[in-house]
Amino acid sequence: MQTFLHGRDLIGDLDFSKEEVETVLDVALDLKRKRALNEPHAYLRDKTLAMLFFFSSTRTRGSFEAGMAQLGGHAAFIESRTTQISHGDTAKEIGEILGRYYDGLAIRHVEWTKGNPYLNEVAKYSRVPVLNMQCDIYHPFQCLADLLTIWEKKGRDLRRKKMVVSWAYAASYQKPMSVPQSLILQMPRFGLDVVLAHPPEFKLMPEIMDQAREQARKFGTGFEVVDDMDEGFKDADIVYAKSWGAMVHTPDEKQGAEIIQKYSSWITDQRRMRLAKSDAIYMHPLPADRNIEVTDEVIDGPNSVVYDEAENRLHVQKAVMALTMG
């Protein structure tokens, strides 16, 4: 167990070593047990967290607010449009000033090419930990919750288990690619053989792909890319299928939306789930475009773990906050 995470930022998935991630998950399981037994665990009494949102949220806001309250502290919700950011407050000012008011800064900023640089600029000037509630490149807390859920459902020894991370059709908007990028970086470190499935236009960032291959080499796991959803699903132990945008192919929103329409057949349905193993789990970070991205039969079916996955956001976030802000 790695016991000195105090003051650390969590912006990218590889900011914490494998051993440090294991520490986070062990603490998360302990906090989950304490909550189940109604045991007080006010490790952050009188501490405050600023939650700065440039992008709307359901699970992220709810789980961070609830988590800080359960840890004995307070979370302040700050919507960027209600601040002076649009009138001149820079990332430097946010880091310098909010870093003096609060004990931690959590930021969600997913605008393509802007979110991650903003978080890193804030962190450069902040005297307190900066936590990434999702940017355009990474979604580390979602990935930690996913890994905790996989541990609970499949055990800690994940060697020779296949996880497919698949693109899926969604008509709502060009969604960030941060979830699949976090998954391909983190999961090979824990023994999973990862298969990334997507149409040709939905490539992930080349530097992230290089890092994912390096993690797979380092930890002796498989990592491959296919352009066929059925092939990806075949014999999978874990199915993680969601939509993301074509930003690497084209940053143009209109072109990206047109490309998405070509692949409406990329839906997770019962036929595809039957290609996976009979005890495969279906995962999704939510919200899902029902009956477009995934059928009701699958997301509400016996293989779905999406609500356990959503709950685990609370526990892993509490663990990271307790370890870094305590």
CA atoms within 13 A on the CB side of 312: 29
At 86 the pLDDT is: 87
d(CA 18, CA 9): 16
Quote the mean pLDDT of the chain.
97
> Which tens digits make up the pLDDT trace of 81-96?
888 998 999 999 999 9
Tokens linked to 148: 């905790």
> What's the pLDDT score for residue 78?
95
The CATH number, out of the four listed (3.40.50.1370, 2.40.160.20, 3.50.50.60, 3.20.20.100), of the domain defined by the range 13-139+312-325:
3.40.50.1370
Torsion over CA: 134, 249, 266, 170 (sign): positive
Q: 175 CB contacts (<8 Å, ≥6 apart)?
A: 242, 243, 244, 245
CATH code 3.40.50.1370 for 142-309: yes
Task: Supply the DSSP symbol for 94.
Answer: I
Rounded alpha-carbon distances, angstroms, from residue 152 to 17, 165, 278: 21, 19, 18
Q: Tens digit of pLDDT for each residue in 211-231? A: 999 999 999 999 999 999 999
For the chain, the residue count is 326
**pLDDT computed for residue 172 by the predictor:** 67
Give 25-44 pLDDT, tens digit per residue.
999 999 999 999 999 999 99
pLDDT reported for residue 171: 81
Sheet of 104-109, strands arranged across: 74-79, 48-53, 104-109, 130-135
Residues 178-202: what's their mean pLDDT?
98
Do the Cβ atoms of 184 and 222 come closer than 8 Å? no
pTM of the model: 0.97
Residues 62-74 have a mean pLDDT of: 98
Average pLDDT over residues 198-208: 98
At 305-316, the pLDDT tens digits run 999 999 999 999
Q: Around 51, how many Cα atoms within 13 Å sit in the side-chain half-sphere?
A: 20
Q: Buried b / exposed e across 105-131, counting CB within 10 Å, b at 16+?
A: bbbbbbebeebbebbbbbbebbebbbb
- 275: its two tokens: 């290609």
Identical fold for domains 13-139+312-325 and 142-309, yes or no, is yes
Strand positions, DSSP E, the chain: 48-53, 74-79, 104-109, 130-135, 162-167, 193-197, 223-226, 238-242, 281-283
pLDDT 10s digits, 109-130? 999 999 999 999 999 999 999 9
Domain locations in the chain as residue ranges: 13-139+312-325, 142-309
pLDDT digits (tens, 9 = 90+) for 249-260: 998 888 998 999
